[in-house]
Amino acid sequence: MSVPSRVLLAALVCLLMISTVVQGEKFKRSVTYDGRSLIINGKRELFFSGSIHYPRMPPEMWWDILKKAKAGGLNVIQTYVFWNIHEPEKGQFNFEGNYNLTKFIKMIGDLGMYATLRVGPFIEAEWNYGGFPFWLREVPNITFRSDNPPFKYHMKKFTKMIIDMMKDAQLYASQGGPIILSQVENEYNTIQLAFRELGTRYVHWAGTMAVRLNTGVPWVMCKQKDAPGPVINTCNGRNCGDTFTGPNKPSKPVLWTENWTARYRVFGDPPSRRSAENLAFSVARFFSKNGTLANYYMYYGGTNYGRLGSSFVTTRYYDEAPIDEYGMLREPKWGHLRDLHSALRLCKKALLSGKPSVENFGPNLEPKTKACVAFLSNNDSRTPATLTFRGSKYYLPQYSISILPDCKTVVYNTRMIVAQHSSRHYQKSKAANKDLRWEMFIEDIPTLNENLIKSASPLEQWSVTKDTTDYLWHTTSISLDGFHLPLRENILPVLRIASLGHMMHGFVNGHYIGSGHGTNIENSFVFQKPIILKPGINHISLLGVTIGLPDSGVYLERRYAGTRTVAIQGLNTGTLDVTYSEWGQKVGLDGEKFQVYTQEGSDRVKWNKTKGLGGPLTWYKTYFDAPEGNDPLAIEVATMSKGMVWVNGKSIGRYWVSFLSPTGKPSQSVYHIPRAFLKPKDNLLAIFEEIGGNIDGVQIVTVNRNTICSYIKESDPPRVNNRKREDSVIQKVFDDARRSATLMCPDNKKILRVEFASYGNPFGACGNYILGNCSAPSSKRIIKQVYHLSSLCT
Alpha helices in 170-217 (DSSP H): 189-195, 197-211
Whether 258 is catalytic: yes
d(CA 83, CA 103): 17
What b-and-e string marks burial along 466-492, b requiring 16 or more CB atoms within 10 Å of the CB?
Answer: ebebbbbbbbbbbebeeebbeeeeeee
Residues in the chain, overall count: 794
Single-letter amino acid, residue 372? C
Please pick, among 87, 124, 185, 258, the residue that the annotation labels catalytic: 258
Q: Which helix (H) or strand (E) holds 574?
A: strand 574-577
CB 150 within 8 A of CB 139: yes
DSSP 313: B
- In order, the DSSP letters of 632-664 are -EEEE-TT--EEEEEETTEEEEEEE-SSB-TTS
Q: What is the CA radius of gyration of the chain?
A: 29
- In order, the DSSP letters of 673-691 are E-GGG--SS-EEEEEEESS
Contacts of 204 (CB under 8 A, 6+ apart): 226, 228
At residue 322, the 3 state secondary structure works out as coil
At residue 208, the 3 state secondary structure works out as helix
Please pick, among 87, 187, 331, 366, the residue that the annotation labels catalytic: 187
Contacts of 357 (CB under 8 A, 6+ apart): 368, 369, 370
Q: What is the 3-state secondary structure (H, E, C) of 274-305?
A: CCHHHHHHHHHHHHHCCEEEEEEEEEECCECC
CB 790 within 8 A of CB 13: no
Which class for 660: exposed (0-12), middle (13-18), buried (19 or more C-beta within 10 A)? middle
* Phi, then psi, of 761 in degrees rounded to 5: -130, 60
d(CA 377, CA 735): 29
CB 204 within 8 A of CB 228: yes
The Cα diameter of the chain in Å comes to 97
d(CA 89, CA 85): 9
d(CA 712, CA 659): 40
CB 161 within 8 A of CB 101: no
C-alpha distances in Å from residue 769, one per residue of 257, 270, 716: 37, 25, 19
Give 635's strand partners.
Answer: 671, 700
d(CA 207, CA 322): 33
DSSP 436: -
Whether 522 is catalytic: no
- In order, the DSSP letters of 91-154 are TB----GGG-HHHHHHHHHHTT-EEEEEEES---TTBGGGG--HHHHTSTT--TTSS-HHHHHH
d(CA 148, CA 470): 30
Distance of CA 652 to the CA centre of its chain: 14
Give 256's strand partners.
Answer: 235, 294
Which class for 524: exposed (0-12), middle (13-18), buried (19 or more C-beta within 10 A)? middle
Neighbours of 231 (CB within 10 A): 26
Single-letter amino acid, residue 521? I
Residues forming the active site: 187, 258
